[in-house]
Amino acid sequence: MDSILIAGLAVATFLSYKLLSKSSDNALLPLPPGPPRDPVIGSARYFPTERIGENLYKWQKQYGNLVCATLPTSAMILVYSNDIAQELLSKRPNTTSNRSIGYYITDMMGWKWSPAFAQPNPHYANQRKMLRRGIGPQRIATHNLVIERQTNALLLKLSTFQGYVPPVIMNAMGHLVIEVTYGTEIEHHLGNQLSTLNQEAMEIILKAFYKLHLVDVFHFLRFIPSWMPGAGFKRIAQRSQWLSNYLRYETFAKNAGKLGPSLATDLLDEFGTDDSDVMDALAVLYIAGSDTTTAAIVAFLHALYLFPTVATKVYDEIKAVTLDGQRLLTVPDRQHLPYTEAVWKESIRWNPFILMGVPHVNIQDEYIQGYRIPKGSMILQHTGFMLTDPTIWRDPDVFRPERFLTDENASELPNPLGIIFGYGMRICPGMYLADRAGFHIAASVASVYRILPREGKCRAKCRQPRIYRFSIQIAHKFRLPLYSPR
C-alpha cells in the first residue's frame, strides 16, 4: 500500500513539475513583433490617427499576421489571420471575450448599457439568448413576410426617386428592423423618425470609436463646461446621451400599448414586462440593425454597376426563377439563386464595409504561435486584410464570384459575412437577419432596376471604391448611379 501511495505521489509531483515548467516557459515567450516602443507612451506615436483600417494594412506587411503595439495602459494585438482569430477568439471564448470600451463612449455618451459594449455577465448572456430566440437560425424564417413587404415598398419608392440612393436604402432597412422589433403600428407611426435618429446615433458612435479621447484617461475633464473652447466633445456626448436614452428607453416605454405581433411581444410574453434585458436587447437590434446591412446592399449594387456582365448574369438567373419576371422575388427563392449568392459573398469580400472589428480583451495571458499575449490586451481583428488574404483568396484583388462556385477549394472558403460579424461569444446576434434581409433587398433591386451611370458620368471614373475613414460606415462617398426601371 505504501509503495502505491509513494508511486502516486511521485507521478503527481512529476506532472505538477511539468505543468509549472510549461507555465514558466510560456511566461518567457516574446510579445508578437510590432512598431517601436518608446518609454511611457509605448507605440502610440506610430499608431495612425486617421483612416486607421487602411493604414494598418502596412503593419501586416512589416510584421506578419500577429502584431503587438504597446499603449500607455495596455498592449494592442492586431490579428490579420482568420485562422489565428478562430483559434484565439472562437476556441477560447471564456478568456478572450471581454471588452475595453473607453469611458467617453460608455459613460459620457451613454452607451454603457449596450450588449455590444458590455462585459460577459448574466445580463449579457440573457440578452444574447433573447436575440437568438427571436432572430437566430431557428426563428429567422418567421420574419420573411416583413422582409418581403418592406422590400416591395422600397422598390416602389425607387421607381420615382432620383439622387443619392444609400440613405433611401438605409431608411428602408430601418423600417424593416423596427417592424421586426416592435410591430407594424410603431413602424408606421414612428418609422421615419426612429430611422433618422438611428442614423444620427450611429454616425456619432462611429466617429468616436477609434479616436483617442483624453477624457478616457483624465476623467476630471468631464467637468469642463461645454461652452468652453475645446469642449466640443462634451456637446457631442450630451447629444449622444439624449439619443441613447430616447432610442433605448422612451421608444419602448411610451409605446408599450402600441406593440403589435413582433419580437418585442414574444420576448415580453416569455420573460416578463419588468425585465430590463428585454428593453436593451430590443434597442440594440433596431439601433444597430440597419447600418451594416445597408453597407452590404450598397456593396452588392456597386459591384453590379462596375461589372455589367455580372449584372446580366444575376438578372438572367433571377428572371428564370420569377417566371420571366411575372412575379417579384420571395425570400425562399434564394436557394435557387447560386450565382446571385456568390455575387453577394464576393461583393462583401472584395469591398468590405468593416475593416476593423470591435476589440476583444483577454482576462489571462494567452499563448499562440510562439508568442505571449499579455492579460488585458486589446485584440483587434483586421477583417479588411482577412478578406483579401492571398493565402486564402486566389487573385484577391479581382472581383470573381465564381471562386465560391467552381474553384477547387470553393467549399473550403470562409463566408465573408462570418468574418465581418465577429468571432466566438462576440458574434453579432443580428447576423442572420442582416444576411437574409440584405440579400433579399439587394437581389430584388437587381431584378427590377438596371444600375446605370449618372448622366454625364462613366463607369471608369468610379471604378475604384473609396476607402472609408472609420471602421463601420456606408462604404462609398460617391453618388451611386441612377436606378432605371427595366
Nine-digit cell string for 167: 440613405
DSSP letter for each residue of 354-393: BSSPPPEE-SS-EEETTEEE-TT-EEEE-HHHHTT-TTTS
Q: What angle do CA 251, 257, 258 make, to 5 degrees?
A: 70
Q: 484 has which bridge partners?
A: 450
CA dihedral 133, 134, 135, 141 (to 10 degrees): 100
428 annotated ligand-binding residue: yes
Q: What is the DSSP letter of 406?
A: T
Contact 166, 294 (CB under 8 A): yes
Please say whether the dihedral angle defined by the alpha carbons of residues 159, 160, 166 and 171, taken in this order, is positive or negative. negative
Given a contact cutoff of 8 angstroms between Cβ atoms, the answer to whether 60 and 77 are in contact is no
Helix 276-288 and helix 122-135, axial crossing angle in degrees, nearest 10: 60
Q: Is 339 helix (H, G, I), strand (E, B) or coil?
A: helix
What DSSP character marks residue 112?
Answer: T
**DSSP code, position 118:** P
The C-alpha atoms of residue 358 and residue 102 are separated, in whole angstroms, by 12
Q: Is the dihedral of CA 248, 249, 254, 257 positive or negative?
A: positive
HSE-up of residue 434 (Cα within 13 Å, Cβ side): 24
- What Å distances lie between residue 464 and 294, 350, 394, 457, CA to CA? 19, 11, 20, 14
Give residue 230's region: left, alpha or beta (phi > 0; psi -120 to 50): left
User: Is 77:378 a contact under the CB 8 Å cutoff?
Assistant: yes
Which amino acids are annotated as binding site for heme, given as ranges?
A: 428
- Pick out the residues of the known binding site: 428
